[in-house]
Structure 1
Amino acid sequence: MEKRAFGNTGASFPILSFGAQRIVDDHGCGEEEAIRIVNRAIDEGITYFDTAPIYSDGQSEERLGKSFGERRDRAWIATKTIDRTRDGSWRSLEGSLKRLRTDHVEEWRLHDVRTMEQLDACFAKDGALQALVEAKEQGVIRHISISGHTNPSVQLEAIERFPFDSALVALSAADQFIYSFAHEFVPRANEKGVAVVGMKVIGLGRLASWYEKALRYTWSLPIATAIIGMESMEQLENNLAVARSFRPMTEIERLEFAKEIISMANPDVLRWKAKDWSNAEQWAERV
């Protein structure tokens, strides 16, 4: 698989990285199968694993922890805090380390920062960012990150305020049409040496009919890597096959693909950009 530099960190990763949200019972993936999938991924060269404590009440982290065993040194772990306070984030990290069976993680993210108010809370005195900085100073984490699904302006403001090492953002082909991280955020992140990690590549399954094109679209962007959710060995093998045969989309291919999927640009499909996830009829207000 093609490898790319991870911003200014000195690390590099294959274009295909592992989204661990789906190796859980909620997605029909039992523990034994989850462990097999993760180890197969490592065997095939995947080294970047993304998780979070809120994924199935910690089950995602638990299963990664059980999977790595003596191969822990072959995995770059990125986990997150959804808490906006220093103390709450420290408690979150302590729980993550226990479930992941490790004394450190390579990357810790501010999770799903949607609004300027949430960003301000993270940056405030005794806010979540303070915990991330302290954890890095203590060697409990190696790199500081932020994620965003909804409003590129928030993540743009974040990287101007603080030297984040990376950012995890929504970069599906359908995301390009509204509140576009690809158009607004990625160029500035690249200028500043912030590693960009793509997510929502298959649009929670809504782009499954264009599976290979969806992967190629995101990998054709100037990003470091993309995390893909995998809940079965078949999905892993399919992803590996597309990654190994990857060739960037031409301008004409991007245009034709955009014409095919423009109808998918609605708040029911792009729920992470909707006003209300459970009643996705309107776009989130962009302030």
Structure 2
Amino acid sequence: FHPAELAEAALDAGITYFDTAPGYGDGQSERNYGEVLATRRREVFLATKTGSRSHDDALRSVEASLKRLRTDHLDLLQLHGVSAKEDFTRWDRPDGVLRALYRLREEKVTRFVGVTGHESAAAMRRAIELFNFDTILTTFNPTATRRPFRELVLPLAHEKKMGIIAMKVMGGGFGSLAAGNPLKNDLATYWYHDQAPRQVEAGMLIRYALGLPVSAAVVGMNALAHVRANVAAVCGKPPLNEEERKALEVHLS
């Protein structure tokens, strides 16, 4: 299958939040989306990112993304990959990236600006303490390694009435909850250090994330079966409640 088929299938199934970045496949992810957006742009909430930290580089990055995506506007433009070593003093200088993001928002090239990161909960919290972002994209799953993001970042983002988007709900690369095909047999396998594998229904991990005060969850998919399985996992099934979430956290601790 062609990757654009996945985007078409997702739209047909009711998935409308599309997340990408220039660094995903060296721009290929944006190109794949562009094949669909050329005819179905109005159906999509489109989010991409810039890893630049300077004004001019960020503008060039966004211009290139728009060309690959075959659109003239974004719904969400995010500052990509906040790290523990981030120099926040650079961001709001006259030649800093925030001037570019805010300018693009004022010019309606993007409706919203956000920030993303999964390396350091403390750095993510500091970013949203210091600056005016509309959204945050960060990691929420039941593992102990992700607890700081739930405890340090989530309450403040909620207090500031930000849009909160969950990522790495299957674990991503950090003690992965999903080994190999995350939806094979409708199970995700949790490997963490030297512990025995723990098996969890993939749908439970999505419903865990949606049970938190988030606006959406980003889940990677690389097969049509994943699209169907992810949709089936949440259709007609409520997000996990607090008791169910805590039980899952204990199971994976």
Into which bin does the TM-score normalised by the smaller protein fall?
0.7 to 0.9
**Corresponding residue for 1:163?**
132
Q: Is the 8 A contact 2:142 2:245 kept in 1?
A: no
Report the Cα distance in structure 1 between the residues aligned to 2:29 and 2:170, rounded to whole angstroms: 20
* Secondary structure, counterpart of 1:99 in structure 2: helix
Q: Is the 8 A contact 1:172 1:201 kept in 2?
A: yes
* Secondary structure, counterpart of 1:186 in structure 2: helix
* Secondary structure, counterpart of 1:108 in structure 2: strand
TM-score (norm. length: structure 1): 0.75
**Corresponding residue for 1:187?**
155
Q: Is the 8 A contact 2:37 2:71 kept in 1?
A: no
Note the residue ranges of structure 2 that are not aligned, 5 or more in a row: 178-187, 190-199
Q: What one-letter code is carried by the residue in structure 2 that aligns with 1:115?
A: A
1:67-114 Cα distance to aligned partner (Å, 9 max, x none): 222211111111101111111111110110000001111110000111
Structure showing greater relative contact order (alpha-carbon pairs closer than 8 Å, 6 or more residues apart) = 1
Q: What one-letter code is carried by the residue in structure 2 that aligns with 1:172?
A: N
Q: Is the 8 A contact 1:61 1:96 kept in 2?
A: yes
Aligned CA-pair RMSD: 1.7
Which residue of the other structure, out of 101, 110, 130, is the alignment partner of 1:141? Answer: 110
Confirm whether residue 47 of structure 1 aligns to residue 16 of structure 2.
yes
Task: Name the count of aligned residue pairs.
Answer: 230
Change (3 A) 1:253 1:35: same
Superposed displacement of residue 217, structure 1 = 1.3
Confirm whether residue 202 of structure 1 aligns to residue 170 of structure 2.
yes
Q: Is the 8 A contact 2:38 2:71 kept in 1?
A: no
**Corresponding residue for 2:207?**
216
* Secondary structure, counterpart of 1:168 in structure 2: strand
Superposed displacement of residue 144, structure 1 = 0.6
Report the Cα distance in structure 2 between the residues aligned to 1:122 and 1:94, rounded to whole angstroms: 20
Q: What one-letter code is carried by the residue in structure 2 that aligns with 1:181?
A: F
Confirm whether residue 231 of structure 1 aligns to residue 200 of structure 2.
no
Report the Cα distance in structure 2 between the residues aligned to 1:102 and 1:143, rounded to whole angstroms: 16
Report the Cα distance in structure 2 between the residues aligned to 1:252 and 1:171, rounded to whole angstroms: 17
Note the residue ranges of structure 1 that are not aligned, 5 or more in a row: 1-31, 263-287
**Corresponding residue for 1:271?**
none
Q: Is the 8 A contact 1:119 1:154 kept in 2?
A: no
Report the Cα distance in structure 2 between the residues aligned to 1:217 and 1:193, rounded to whole angstroms: 21
Report the Cα distance in structure 2 between the residues aligned to 1:156 and 1:87, rounded to whole angstroms: 26
Q: Is the 8 A contact 1:150 1:179 kept in 2?
A: no
Report the Cα distance in structure 2 between the residues aligned to 1:212 and 1:246, rounded to whole angstroms: 9
Q: Percent identity?
A: 37
**Corresponding residue for 1:81?**
50
TM-score (norm. length: structure 2): 0.85
Q: Is the 8 A contact 1:168 1:197 kept in 2?
A: yes
Q: Is the 8 A contact 1:170 1:198 kept in 2?
A: yes
Report the Cα distance in structure 2 between the residues aligned to 1:136 and 1:182, rounded to whole angstroms: 28
* Secondary structure, counterpart of 2:99 in structure 1: helix
Which residue of the other structure, out of 78, 86, 89, is the alignment partner of 1:120? Answer: 89
